[in-house]
Amino acid sequence: MHVITTKKNVKGLVVERVPTEVLRLLEAAGRAADAEGMAAYAVGGFVRDLLLRIENTDVDVAVEGDGLKVARRLAEMVGARLRPHDQFGTAVLVLPDGLRLDVATARVEYYEYPAAPPVVEPSSLKDDLFRRDFTINTLAITLNGPEPFHLVDFFEGQRDLKERTVRVLHDMSFVEDPARVFRAIRFEQRFDFTIGRETLALLKSAVAQGCIGQIAPLRLGAELRYMLAEREPLKMVRRMAELDVLRFVHPALAGDGDGWRLLQHLKDVVAWYEPLYLDVPVERWFCYLLALVDPLPAEEARAVGMRIALPGRLQQVLEAFGQQRRGLPAVLDRRPPPRPSEVYRALEGMAPEALLVLMARSSEDVRHLISHYLTVTRGVEPALGGEDLIALGLEPGPRFTEILEAVRDRRVDGELTTKDQEIAFVRETYLARSR
Ligand code: CTP
């Protein structure tokens, strides 16, 4: 076992930037590796973000030797739950306080032909880092051995962090793993970096050769989701469009000016909605996806969802939205404006993500109607239930739904506010008449 470092001691930086419980865990991982006679390193995004002074407690540990053995010992030492994946020599540790740590055996990965499943074998840290996507992700920190908490930098990761550049390690990187096209854009835009000149040429050539088409639907969906879940999804979309990536996700996603305006409005709508902390959470990335497919005919929007293997519920929302928004303007744009109960009936059943996109594409008046629905009337229910109607002497049957909806409408419109008023209304409207 030999350890190569740059002699740059980063203990001070770790102590300064990393929460104490994470530091303790890293030290314990070092001791566990010592006990097994192996070398352990913190690797990847955690190290990159540490040097960028960005908070990231998502630690990946790579072990030269057997990651599972170190993980088991560490789990015992710190009282963590261990979820091993024997097959890959990796394990996830979950501590009682919820902190997680990924431990893996350092491994070499090679491809027998482009886009083939990789062949994986245990190997050195250097090999492990060489198989990674970009130089900025190849930095490591020793956790044990003669010089713990020293930076390991085989591939000029520090230089590229300083130069704020995303660079691949070798010419075949995008061909071997086309998903890296998305990752390059994501890191570039997230950190305000630049994709290096040669790397950009390799990326463009991989895209032009149709590499995006080789990405399996689930994987493609995950990459798109990561892009849209970033803090600034518009930057991601703009760069994806610029580099022709979206067109290769689906030809209909070439992008145009209208689509762009919608995304900008959506950003404002999301910024309004999220701080409200309503009990209806939205999947923000999915709002942006809906907005991206919004200009498309229903059939093409559906095809985009299929191409990225959207989970069933979301695919349903996407397809339903294509239908729903057609009928809506008639109700929402009406003059004089519809009553709150009519808005309720029109919007009921629409997913919150769809409602936000609808807001983004609507006039200010309609936006107010939808925001009133989302924040005030959505979820309003009558105080009365079926039992109450029976107690009032009504015959149970399908008519109950109609009655309760009528009661709810009046609540939504502010005409009824108490249960007594509801009872009086039901008596007057349904009992007086049936007598
Ligand atoms: N990786 C890779 N190729 C991929 C995906 C991941 O080489 N297609 C490598 C990267 O070097 C990365 C590591 O695997 O550092 C872990 O992946 P992930 O957790 O996705 O990366 P992070 O860098 O932690 O990204 P994020 O900050 O978005 O979590």
Residues 180, 133: contact at Cβ < 8 Å?
yes
Ligand 1 closest atom vs CA 49 = 27
- Beta carbon of 137 within 6 Å of any ligand 1 atom: yes
- Range 164-248 has CATH code 3.30.1490.20: no
Of all protein residues, the one whose alpha carbon is nearest to atom 16 of ligand 1 is 44
- Beta carbon of 239 within 6 Å of any ligand 1 atom: no
- Beta carbon of 225 within 6 Å of any ligand 1 atom: no
Q: How far is the CA of 44 from the centre of ligand 1 (A)?
A: 7
H-helix or E-strand spanning residue 376: none
**Domain coordinates in residue numbering, the chain:** 11-157, 164-248, 253-379, 386-434
Residues 148, 142: contact at Cβ < 8 Å?
yes
Q: Which of 128, 129, 133 to mutate to test the pocket of ligand 1 (most atoms within 8 A of CB)?
A: 133
Of all protein residues, the one whose alpha carbon is nearest to atom 8 of ligand 1 is 180
Reference 285, options 295, 296, 275, 274; nearest CA is: 274
The C-alpha angle with vertex 419 and arms to 416 and 425, in degrees rounded to 5, equals 55
Residues 22, 29: contact at Cβ < 8 Å?
no
> What's the pLDDT score for residue 2?
46
The C-alpha angle with vertex 70 and arms to 68 and 76, in degrees rounded to 5, equals 100
Residues 125, 64: contact at Cβ < 8 Å?
yes
- Range 11-157 has CATH code 3.30.460.10: yes
> What's the pLDDT score for residue 434?
52
The position carrying tokens 């020793």 is 142
Ligand 1 closest atom vs CA 56 = 27
Going from the C-alpha of 186 to that of each of 194, 197, 231, the distances in angstroms are 11, 17, 10
> What's the pLDDT score for residue 255?
64
* Fold (topology level) of 253-379: cca-adding enzyme, domain 2 (1.10.3090)
- Beta carbon of 223 within 6 Å of any ligand 1 atom: no
Of all protein residues, the one whose alpha carbon is nearest to atom 29 of ligand 1 is 45
Handedness of CA 144, 29, 137, 175 (dihedral sign): positive
Ligand 1 closest atom vs CA 187 = 28
Q: How far is the CA of 304 from the centre of ligand 1 (A)?
A: 25
CA distance 75 to 71: 6
Of all protein residues, the one whose alpha carbon is nearest to atom 13 of ligand 1 is 44
Of all protein residues, the one whose alpha carbon is nearest to atom 21 of ligand 1 is 45
Going from the C-alpha of 177 to that of each of 118, 132, 202, 220, the distances in angstroms are 10, 10, 12, 12
> What's the pLDDT score for residue 1?
45
For 134, list phi and psi in degrees, rounded to 5: -130, 155
Mean pLDDT in each 10-residue stretch from start to end of the chain (435 residues)? 68 97 97 97 97 96 96 96 85 93 92 77 94 97 96 96 98 95 98 98 97 95 97 96 92 75 95 87 95 92 96 96 81 92 94 96 94 94 94 92 96 96 95 63
Residues 122, 137: contact at Cβ < 8 Å?
no
For 320, list phi and psi in degrees, rounded to 5: -65, -40
The C-alpha angle with vertex 10 and arms to 41 and 147, in degrees rounded to 5, equals 60
- Beta carbon of 168 within 6 Å of any ligand 1 atom: no
What are 339's strand-pairing partners? Answer: none
Q: Which of 169, 183, 224 to mutate to test the pocket of ligand 1 (most atoms within 8 A of CB)?
A: 183
**272: amino acid identity, one letter:** W
> Which DSSP category does 427 fall into?
I
